[in-house]
Structure 1
Amino acid sequence: MGSMSIWHWLIVLVIVMLVFGTKKLKNIGGDLGAAVKSFKEGVREATDETPANGSSTAQGTPPSVTNGASGTAANDANTIDVEARTKG
């Protein structure tokens, strides 16, 4: 008699359904499901915001802007000039 058998759990389930009713249990289940869903979304957003490789932006230093073709570092003014030359 040390462990609960399946019949004990079924009796407990029937008593809980009689006390709370199926409608209230359904609402509790829906609320619990919504809470778990929002928790998972929060965890997913938190992991998306943190960089995985520890890039320089995580340390507070801005990343360098590179010119795509040559791979050399360029400032914002040079990047704008390159874009203006290619468009016009």
Structure 2
Amino acid sequence: MGTFSIWHWLVVLAIVVLVFGTKKLRNLGSDLGNAVRGFKEGMKGADEDNTPSSSQSPQITHHSAEAGVKEKNEIKL
């Protein structure tokens, strides 16, 4: 742990608990956990968006001239 012993860290932890209280520290821990979880889900979603899949491939459709005329007639009616 570097130059500090375990006793130094326990004293610091005790002071932090006395200053902030256990409820605030618990809320802080849960907020931090939710933020990390959200970040991981966001990164996972970004990875899925970057990978091409067969269902998202562009489809080329060809329309005949007659189909275009029928659509225009149907719209006018």
TM-score (structure 1 length as normaliser): 0.58
- Whose relative contact order is higher, 1 or 2, with alpha carbons under 8 Å and at least 6 apart? 2
Within 1, Cα distance between the matches of 2:12 and 2:23? 17
Identity %: 55
Structure 1 runs of 4+ aligned residues shifted over 2 Å read none
Within 1, Cα distance between the matches of 2:45 and 2:62? 30
The aligned length equals 59
Letter in 2 for 1:12: V
1:76: how far off?
Answer: 6.7
Within 2, Cα distance between the matches of 1:4 and 1:76? 74
Task: Quote the residue 2:70 is aligned against.
Answer: none
List alignment gaps of at least 5 residues for structure 1. Answer: 65-74, 78-88
Task: Quote the residue 1:36 is aligned against.
Answer: 36
Higher strand share: 1
Cα RMSD after superposing both structures: 2.4
Per-residue Cα deviation, 1:4-34 (whole angstroms, up to 9, x for no partner): 1100000000000000000000000000000
Per-residue Cα deviation, 1:50-74 (whole angstroms, up to 9, x for no partner): 127xxxx6xxxx467xxxxxxxxxx
List alignment gaps of at least 5 residues for structure 2. Answer: 64-77
Higher helix share: 2
